[in-house]
Amino acid sequence: MDNWRLSRVKGSTTALGSATKYPVQIATEQVKVYLRRVKLKRTAGTGANFIPRIFKTSTALNGSIDQEFVGSSTAVADLFDVVADAYTYTDTDGYLFLTPGPDAGADNTFDYEIYYLLVR
């Protein structure tokens, strides 16, 4: 792990449904990433629970080979905060795709933080 530096990307999503993928820019080109921690908190919407996922392509489906991380069902009142341990690649433009995965509604918004290391 020589010369590795922990980085963080954070932000807020717009209104999301259960399968909406939210693009999270990690770099400007395809890079190898070591996911370390994933945090989400629902801030608005009608969902009662959510299951966060991270994909390496915008067209990936739940349970597909392009799904890189899946969390557990979390009540919307709770903070999802999990130590991840997953290597992946971004897409060719440097994006990973976050799906917070609320169980109801298309009006859910989330705050998120993703901690990662760029692998050289």
Residues 42-77 have pLDDT tens digits of 999 999 999 999 999 999 999 999 999 999 999 999
> Is there a domain that residue 12 lies in?
yes
Residues 7-47 have pLDDT tens digits of 999 999 988 888 899 999 999 999 999 999 999 999 999 99
**Based on the structure, what is the number of domains in the chain?**
1
Find the DSSP H helices in 4-109: none
Say whether pTM exceeds 0.85: yes
Confidence at residue 120, expressed as pLDDT on a 0 to 100 scale: 78
> Is there a domain that residue 102 lies in?
yes
Is residue 45 left, alpha or beta, with left meaning phi > 0 and alpha meaning psi from -120 to 50? left
> Is there a domain that residue 1 lies in?
no
> Is there a domain that residue 19 lies in?
yes
> Is there a domain that residue 66 lies in?
yes
117 exposure class (CB count in 10 Å sphere: 0-12, 13-18, 19+): middle
- Residue pair 96/11 in contact by the 8 Å Cβ criterion: no
**Domain holding 41: CATH number?**
2.60.120
Largest CA distance in the chain: 45
User: Where in the sequence is the domain holding 32, given as residue range(s)?
Assistant: 6-119
